[in-house]
Structure 1
């Protein structure tokens, strides 16, 4: 395991090695009287989370709040399993996510549609969470962690309808889950900051995503804490890149959907993935990122899931 990273402001980041990949998904730990974490990733990541807590000198039994930005399994799939180790914790979730954590059957069905036969290896076991341990936070609700730190929850759909972002008063930072995209810190060694939109199925909506991003931008945060992965201290670049890439992704999706020769969802998804890569690859080539760089494995995976969401979005639009 990698040692947890001290991000300052009483926050640490534990690498959860989601999909077996470093710097993919992480848990943020608030070192407060009311020990609180944001994101759990999927169940196979829970051993990494527990080891990370141990490295920080913390005990799972001391956790009071487990917050999930949204209920996609790479963010919240391990919450039920973790909760078994946290007798004093409750799970804080968006109002639209509560019932799916109590009964994850539809979540499982949706993820199997995306990940197929890899599902068990990536996500099992998915443990239902007792309703009395689920707490909902509505738009504008707060959680006081200490006299110096208050978290405020904001409804931020676009990536998913069950998504909130969390503003932290102490760091003047926002935990955005997937609302404003994915950060690839692996590229920093090449001097490149890349933030790509996350358009995964099946509630993606570009206009709603931009509206949520604008709302967060207007808070003038000093930093953005991403679900994937890590913290950016250049929020203006984050919002600029979302506005740059998202229309290009949407146009690429529409172009492919108008191609009559592509009949099946799979064919369309493959074609959109290729279009996305043809947008991103020259951008990285110009910045001297070698094509054999490890980050491409993650980018390819992300773009294929983004393509599924884009095809789903346009199919719904064309059916209206």
Structure 2
């Protein structure tokens, strides 16, 4: 789907419904960059987007991974094989995991099992180390004279970066500006929730990153899940409020029997209440239906954060 000024939103096909996981193609003066690329299964989709844009594979200068979670960058190594002129740009903390993805693969197989891992992600191809660029905070990439600023935006993951396009006053935010599915739009206004998925969620970093994104006064934030989000300041401030609310729930339920299920129920109620206030129709049905996986992952991430905080407190005692 064409957005504006050389930006195309690509549905990577990840997940069990359309408009769930996006990557982006930026085109300037016949040169191109991808921001995120989906899984190994998504590589043909990315190449088809180039074909529709009338671009040769040699026209791609950059493949930028906002972070190395597999729904964002699982296909990066395989895609790079098809793009002879492109470098893979990634946060320094994530670079080695794309050059040698064994740890990522092992972790995902441990969570999903071999069969479901293959079905969902299709495996990973290592990226050649000589074609990987470790992105410094504040580094600027050139896309045919169009500057793309790379900003480290941890909180969802320590190795997260976002991309600022001055031309359109837009951020490409991966998961650092939350999750905002278009089914939740009400009256033309987007609704978003934070993404606290395991294992590196940090509430202070997440809120600081949202504030950093807002400080640029963007017109749009292009999130991975899903598409362009406007009304950015309102959405960002609500995300910060929700991070605090989610952390408070996690702390309150820390010693509750069946903590994980209790936290999932509490998060569901929080999002239902917020969605109802936002004007979403039938939030009691829509929220559990569309956010089921996100609620599960958010609960896991909050639990992982609680355990780290407990360990830190014990070390400081």
Report if the CA contact (8 A) 1:152-1:168 is conserved. Answer: yes
**TM-score (structure 2 length as normaliser):** 0.91
* 1:97 is aligned to 2:97: no
* 1:27 is aligned to 2:23: yes
Q: Which moved more, 1:12-21 or 1:155-164?
A: 12-21
- 2:205 is aligned to 208
* Cα deviations by residue, 1:83-131 (Å, 9 ceiling, x for unpaired): 1211221111111111110011111233234434522211122111110
Partner secondary structure for residue 228 of structure 1: coil
1-structure distance, mates of 2:89, 2:82: 16
Report if the CA contact (8 A) 2:268-2:288 is conserved. Answer: no
1:238 Cα deviation (Å)? 2.1
Partner secondary structure for residue 20 of structure 1: coil
Alignment partner of 2:6 out of 10, 32, 36: 10
Report if the CA contact (8 A) 2:35-2:65 is conserved. Answer: yes
1:281 Cα deviation (Å)? 1.6
Partner secondary structure for residue 57 of structure 1: coil
1:175 Cα deviation (Å)? 0.9
* 1:79 is aligned to 2:76: yes
Give RMSD over aligned pairs: 1.9
1:81 Cα deviation (Å)? 1.6
* 1:250 is aligned to 2:247: yes
- 1:265 is aligned to none
* Cα deviations by residue, 1:156-209 (Å, 9 ceiling, x for unpaired): 111111111111111111111111211111222675521110001111100111
Matching of residues 31-46 of structure 1 within 5 Å = 31-32=27-28, 33-46=30-43
Count of aligned residue pairs for this structure pair: 309
- List gaps (5 residues or longer) in structure 1: 263-267
- 2:173 is aligned to 176
Report if the CA contact (8 A) 1:42-1:75 is conserved. Answer: yes
2-structure distance, mates of 1:9, 1:295: 33
- 1:129 is aligned to 127
- List gaps (5 residues or longer) in structure 2: 313-317
Q: Decide whether aligned partners of structure 1 residues 103 and 62 sit closer, same or farther in structure 2, where only a CA change above 3 A counts.
A: same
Partner secondary structure for residue 159 of structure 2: coil
* 1:271 is aligned to 2:269: no
1:289 Cα deviation (Å)? 1.8
Report if the CA contact (8 A) 1:81-1:125 is conserved. Answer: no
